[in-house]
Structure 1
Amino acid sequence: MKKDKKLLAIAATAGVSAAAAILLYNAFKVSIPKGAQPIYPFDVRKYLGTWYEIARLDYKFERHLTNVTATYAMNGGSDIKVSNKGFNPGKQAWKESTGKAKFIGPPELARLKVSFFGPFYAGYNVIDVDEHYKHALVVGNNLHHIWILSRHTSIPANIKQRFLEKAASLGYDTKAFIWTKHDLNA
């Protein structure tokens, strides 16, 4: 009887440990959606600066935000400082967050990981950009995170169509995109 209780305790501990390991693995895992290819060659110097969010899929950190921008700057070494800003009309307040991005592999490959919360990183993969680095399509770890970015508050119809077709071909629900409103100056 004692032996059975001991085995049961060992099995329970192993089960809890395995579950914790899976949770930790998923918390630290950085990936790219199946079929998506990061830009290569990628010129990070051309990518730095301010981008306007044109569209995204909804997620909790940007919920209800309009006038969203992302600004990228070198942060010493190969790290990139990421500054996101958006306006919450319901609260009549700007929301800002600052994080860091690091390359996964060589800097000529547009595959990065970004963190706004300590050791937890998410995928940041530039999968399309025009030759002048004025418009970009960025995806996260999975089919729940995607952004269309532009150096201006609007995007040409042909680029928009190209990005929507690429997103749809990867499995993104483009009908669920939130088209970001830009009507304020920060």
Structure 2
Amino acid sequence: MEQLAFGLVAAVLLYSALRVVSEDNLVHTVLWLGVTLATTAAAYVLLHAPFLAAIQIILYTGGALTLMLFGVMLTQRVESVEVPNAAAGQGRAAIVVALLFGVIAAAVVKTPGLPSSPPVDVPVRALGRSFLTTHLLAFEVLSVLLLTAMVGAIVLARKADPAPAPTPKPAPKAHDAHGEAHP
């Protein structure tokens, strides 16, 4: 059953990765990248690494993908740019990829099987304590960097406020002969 689940996850991962590099629409490319990153998290779950899966979802699928979508949405689209001949290099690229795949497959087949090591149980509490003691400076620098990116995205996304309209002055009140004001 686990092999079937891994095969399904691998098939979805491969399909979505191919869509990332073959999609014409940039927004669709980023969304397919999100599917690829989420499927990678599913592969981590199947490898019994739930912490890595959570980090994959939080950092990459959540953070990096949001950043890319902000970048795509905030930049102006250039519709007039044409690629001279996009299909010209695809044949050579396919040959290079096939050769590289063959070399890697041969290396995997010739490598003797290694005994699997027992899973390492890293307590999440110790990891969190390490972030807040030993690695506090790096943790805080990263938090300031992310805060700066969020503020920058908000500033860029906000439209420039038009000049405020002048507030109308109240009409002067009429005074009678005795100096009393009447509306």
User: Same fold per TM (> 0.5)?
Assistant: no
Q: Which has the higher contact order (CA 8 A, sep 6+)?
A: 1
Greater Cα radius of gyration, structure 1 or 2? 2
- TM-score, length-scaled by structure 2: 0.17
Higher helix share: 2
**Structure with higher strand content:** 1
Q: TM-score, normalised by structure 1?
A: 0.17
